[in-house]
């Protein structure tokens, strides 16, 4: 009788352990699949300028989620630079008219960097590897209106460069849906400078 009593808890322990391992494995496989680790080309997506907006704030869990990124017909973004060996950079265009604090700006720039990175990752763009190889250069510049952000995004996309605008969730300092930062690139420096080269550093 004693041996049977000790067997029952050990069976439950094994079952519980197996379920925990299976759950963790499923989570990590799902996460890897969602960011394109397995190279599924059917998951290529970009954020269009007509998108409703990212629900972003300075909290860690407020990054642009996969469900918010909509399919676009403009899958040609960031293509056409495969033969270039020029150094690449990412420019972060920040609105100064919103009165964001330094911490808020840093959080919004992080969201823009991640949005641009995920766009190129989904497209399996060779630009991404080159940008990483050159040290992931990032430059922050400033504008004073949402209209300027929209114009710059349109210019970037017309040149085949990734252009991602981040919209704030409105949980802290600014109104919900406010366009805060535009990420331009990563792309060859000469191409990015055609869009942002005239802007002042932040």
Q: In angstroms, how far is CA 42 from the centroid of its own chain?
A: 18
Q: Determine how many CB atoms are found less than 10 A away from the CB of residue 158.
A: 11
**pLDDT score of 50:** 33
What would the CATH number be for the domain defined by 44-196?
3.40.1490.10
State the Cα torsion 79-84-87-89 to the nearest 10°: -10
* pLDDT digits 0-9 by tens, 69-83: 333 334 444 556 666
pLDDT tens track for 21-80:
666 555 555 554 444 444 433 333 333 333 333 444 444 334 443 333 333 334 444 556
């Amino acid at each position: 009788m004693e041996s049977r009593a000790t067997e029952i808890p050990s069976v439950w322990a094994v079952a519980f352990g197996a379920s925990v391992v299976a759950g963790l494995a499923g989570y990590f496989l799902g996460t890897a699949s969602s960011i394109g680790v397995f190279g599924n080309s059917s998951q290529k997506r970009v954020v269009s300028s007509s998108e409703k907006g990212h629900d972003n704030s300075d909290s860690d869990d407020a990054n642009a989620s996969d469900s918010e990124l909509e399919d676009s017909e403009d899958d040609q973004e960031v293509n056409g630079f495969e033969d270039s060996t020029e150094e690449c950079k990412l420019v972060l265009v920040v609105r100064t008219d919103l009165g964001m604090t330094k911490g808020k700006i840093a959080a919004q720039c992080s969201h823009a960097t991640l949005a641009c990175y995920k766009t190129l990752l989904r497209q399996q763009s060779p630009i991404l590897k080159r940008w990483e190889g050159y040290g992931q250069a990032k430059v922050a510049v400033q504008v004073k209106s949402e209209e300027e952000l929209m114009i710059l995004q349109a210019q970037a996309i017309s040149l085949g460069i990734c252009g991602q605008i981040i919209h704030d969730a409105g949980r802290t300092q600014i109104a919900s849906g406010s366009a805060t930062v535009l990420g331009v690139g990563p792309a060859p420096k000469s191409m990015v400078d055609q869009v942002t080269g005239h802007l002042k550093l932040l």
